[in-house]
A and B are shown apart, each in its own frame.
Chain A
Amino acid sequence: DIQLTQSPSFLSASVGDRITITCRASQGISSYLAWYQQRPGRAPRLLIYEASTLHSGVPSRFSGSGSGAAFTLTITSLQPEDFATYYCQQVHTYPVTFGPGTRVDV
């Protein structure tokens, strides 16, 4: 299976900050990477697919980049509702796998 690692695993930030989360794959996955946000007690929410395509309705402060085995999720001007856990997911090779998550907290 393709393993995904995320860094950092925990990030302390403030409203208005710009943050970057990194996701690395154990082998090349082209651009077959998605990013999800999960708030406590809620279902995951798709933010980015195909590494850099913003899902419909997602604010433009979210952006994704990368290809091959290294990817980043950037949030510019962090808002109160952005404090959550973020997961990457590879859909290049089955079984689909997810990263361990990055918790963004105050």
Chain B
Amino acid sequence: QVQLQESGPGLVKPSETLSLTCTVSGGSISGGFFFWNWVRKSAGKELEWIGRIFASGDTNYNPSLKSRVSISIDTSKNQFSLTLNSVTAADTAIYYCAREAVSAAAYDSWGQGALVTVSS
């Protein structure tokens, strides 16, 4: 059974860059059947889709974050990563990575989530 695990700093200073990695185990990230997504949940706000990447490197981003976000993939390490630039307190959230089945268009596996706090 595939498992996803987020990792990265839990504290980021305002105006700096947030970086998180999602490590996938129990399955290959290279297969062409899945998209690999980032989603976040801020306190008092709805779940927000950040973006996704395919094994080929093709990406889609939420327009609300597109100017600040980048998602990359490292198939040799079975990982994909998120960077978010110029963070503010509004970017404080639990960040989840999730696998999306191309055939089902739903997120069938999720990481446990990583809390990232933006504060000086």
Residue of A at shortest CB range from B62?
A95
Chain B positions within 8 Å of A95 at CB level:
49, 62-64
Is B105 an interface position by the 8 A CB rule? Answer: yes
Residue of B at shortest CB range from A94?
B60
Chain A positions within 8 Å of B110 at CB level:
43-45
If over half of A's interface residues share one DSSP class (helix, strand or loop), that class is named, otherwise mixed; here it is: loop
Interface contact tally, CB-CB below 8 A: 51
Given contacts A95-B49, A98-B47, A101-B46, contact A55 B112 (CB under 8 A): no
Given contacts A87-B47, A98-B49, contact A43 B96 (CB under 8 A): yes
Chain B positions within 8 Å of A87 at CB level:
47
Inter-subunit contact B106/A44 (CB<8 Å): no
Q: B46's contact among A32, A42, A99, by CB below 8 Å, is which?
A: A99
Residue of A at shortest CB range from B37?
A96
A100 to B45, CA, bound (A): 7
Per the CB 8 Å criterion, the residue count for chain A at the interface is: 23
Inter-subunit contact B106/A89 (CB<8 Å): yes
Q: A32's contact among B49, B96, B105, B107, by CB below 8 Å, is which?
A: B105
15 new A-B contacts, CB < 8 A, other than A89-B107, A91-B106, A97-B49, are: A32-B105, A34-B105, A36-B107, A49-B104, A55-B106, A87-B47, A89-B106, A91-B105, A94-B60, A95-B62, A95-B64, A96-B49, A97-B46, A98-B46, A99-B46
